[in-house]
Amino acid sequence: MIYDFGLRLKELREAKRLSQTDVADRLEVTRSTISGYECNTITPSVEQLKRLAVLYNASLDYIMGIDDRSALYLDDLTESQQKTVLDIIDRLKEEFKGGQK
């Protein structure tokens, strides 16, 4: 499958339930600029890419199609909440590893 940068941006935006206007307001650009990004007619600057990554809680590698794995960011959680999430992930890995034998 061919990677589509604009489609990836649109999918990330829609996953956050944001309109193009919402994103434009947060990035301090016009809605047509966001549309241009999503239609692959305008290329965002490095600074805008960083802002999109923060807004969408996604890695630049994922946004750019370098790595198709999604990432889980725990920055908004307390240390205790982060530990709980990581413990759950470890338990799930063990459970699924046992089922793959």
pLDDT in tens, 79-94: 999 899 889 988 888 8
Q: Is the pLDDT of residue 74 over 70?
A: yes
- The pLDDT value given to residue 86: 87
Q: Tens of pLDDT along 12-65?
A: 999 999 999 999 999 999 999 999 999 999 999 999 999 999 999 898 988 998
- The pLDDT value given to residue 70: 65
Task: Yes or no: say if 62 and 71 are a contact pair by the CB < 8 Å rule.
Answer: yes
Query: Any idea where the domains of the chain sit in the sequence?
Result: 5-64, 72-101
What architecture (CATH level 2) is domain 5-64? Orthogonal Bundle (1.10)
pLDDT range class, residue 10, cuts 50, 70, 90: very high
